Amino acid sequence: MLNILLWILQAVLAFLFFASGAYKLFSFEELSQTYSALPLIAWQALGVLDLVGAVLLIVPAALHRQPSLTPLAAAVLTVENVGLCLLYATYSLERAATNPLPWALVIGLMTAFVAYGRYRLAPLGR
């Protein structure tokens, strides 16, 4: 049952990070105007990280090739989300606008659960 839950979370997160990565790569002008704390190149790097992470959440596990990359990808995406949470928290303190902080926290918790789940609770390849 846990394995099924982790696969569902991996699929949902892969979709979300793929969409997020595409948005960060191709809508960087809007992002750089909204969140001016990061330069354009940083948003593009985060977009590439999101796209690579999305692929690594699914492909190694599904193909049974280097399945240890799946929890590693989830851990890296968790760290990215922690950084984005700090950015969004700073942004919300600077401006009285709504921001995606709660959403980033939920996604961060989900990626942390997948990382821990695939590393300790239901590892792949055993």
* pLDDT tens digits, one per residue of 17-59: 999 999 888 886 776 666 667 788 888 899 999 999 999 999 9
Give the whole-angstrom CA distance, residue 67 versus residue 59.
8
Predicted confidence (pLDDT) per residue in 48-106, tens digit: 999 999 999 999 999 999 999 999 999 999 999 998 888 877 766 556 456 677 888 89
* C-beta of residue 109 within 8 angstroms of C-beta of residue 78: no
Give the whole-angstrom CA distance, residue 126 versus residue 121.
12
What's this model's pTM, rounded to 2 decimal places? 0.89
The pair of structure tokens assigned to 120 is 């300790």
Predicted confidence (pLDDT) per residue in 6-18, tens digit: 999 999 999 999 9
